[in-house]
Amino acid sequence: MKSDNRYLGALMIAPFILFIFWGGLPLKIFTFILSAFGMYEFYKALKEKDFKPIEIVGYILLILFYLFNNDFEKLIFMIILATFILLIIPVIDLKYTFIDAAITLLGFLYVGILFSFIYLVSEKSGGAFYVWLIFIGSWMTDTTAYYAGRLFGKTKLCPKVSPKKTIEGSIGGLIGSTISCGILGFVAKGYIATFPIYHFFIIGALCGVFSQFGDLVASSVKRYVGIKDYSNLIPGHGGILDRFDSILFSGLIVFYYLTFILSL
């Protein structure tokens, strides 16, 4: 039955790929929805430890960020103003603390902003190809790490955070992501004028490392608050943050590399 649920969950995830192909406004709406659900899961999880995130502020920030067309200059002013307001709220309403204020901002930055890099990468020149680096880097890391861990895994990677992960599996994930993103580079070169192929391999290697951190960060939060999954939205896979945790980190890596190393 559990296996059937995973297949059902995979069928639910599959249509999301269409949004990546469409790009533009459909993908922007898709990433906004992912962000909103992900923030809800994050805030809900932290309530298990009796924290009280001021959710309305996080959601307002998310809406404004997308209405302002993901403008990072405006984002800075929004965060400063939100911090100003959030620090006042615990003085007015004593049921909240400065920790609740900090958690509110963290949820917006961790989930809302990191998800937005999917859309932002797709909007770059050649972004229709480069956005796939985010998903291939993440998914191939997860897949090859899983099988490498099953076949060769003996040494625990981070047992206090995620007991099943092994160093051998982690290395397998790194190799799988590097090779897969490199292959995408060869494919992309047949359609668009792009940067040298070795950059695809580098991006793949970086995704192979940091998408695993994305997975471990989500696991560390779950372990801290004492839950198995963030939600049961996707049968057999958990919630948005369970399924897309590594993509949050690979999205940032791809965007920063394209922006600051390749000046796209």
Question: Can you give the pTM of this predicted structure?
Answer: 0.93
* pLDDT at res. 11: 62
pLDDT higher than threshold 80 for residue 5: no
Q: Which two tokens stand for residue 160?
A: 């206090």
pLDDT higher than threshold 70 for residue 59: yes
Residues in contact with 230: Cβ distance below 8 Å, sequence separation at least 6, in sequence order: 41, 42, 44, 45, 218, 222, 238, 239, 240, 241, 242
* pLDDT at res. 19: 86
pLDDT higher than threshold 70 for residue 12: no
Q: Which residue has the tokens 């890391």?
A: 141
Q: Which residue has the tokens 């100003």?
A: 84
Mean pLDDT of the chain: 93
Q: State how far the Cα of 52 lies from the Cα of 54, in Å rounded to an integer.
A: 6
The mean pLDDT value for 38-49 works out to 97
pLDDT over 90 for what percent of the chain?
85
pLDDT-derived band at 2 (thresholds 50, 70, 90) equals very low
* pLDDT at res. 3: 47
Q: State how far the Cα of 190 lies from the Cα of 37, in Å rounded to an integer.
A: 37
Transcribe 34-91 into DSSP letters. Answer: HHHHHHHHHHHHHGGGT----HHHHHHHHHHHHHTTT-HHHHHHHHHHHHHHHHHHHH
SS3 content of the chain, % helix, strand, coil (to 5): 75, 5, 20
* pLDDT at res. 182: 97
Query: What burial class does residue 4 get, using C-beta atoms within 10 Å of its C-beta: 0-12 exposed, 13-18 middle, 19+ buried?
Result: exposed
Residues in contact with 132: Cβ distance below 8 Å, sequence separation at least 6, in sequence order: 20, 184
Are 240 and 232 in contact by the 8 Å Cβ rule? The answer is no
The mean pLDDT value for 126-140 works out to 95
Residue 243, amino acid: R
Identify which has the larger pLDDT, 249 or 12.
249
* pLDDT at res. 147: 95
Are 139 and 149 in contact by the 8 Å Cβ rule? The answer is no
DSSP H helix total and E strand total for the chain: 11, 2
pLDDT-derived band at 9 (thresholds 50, 70, 90) equals low
List the domain range (segments joined by +) for residue 84.
5-262
When divided into structural domains, the chain yields a total of: 1
The mean pLDDT value for 124-137 works out to 95
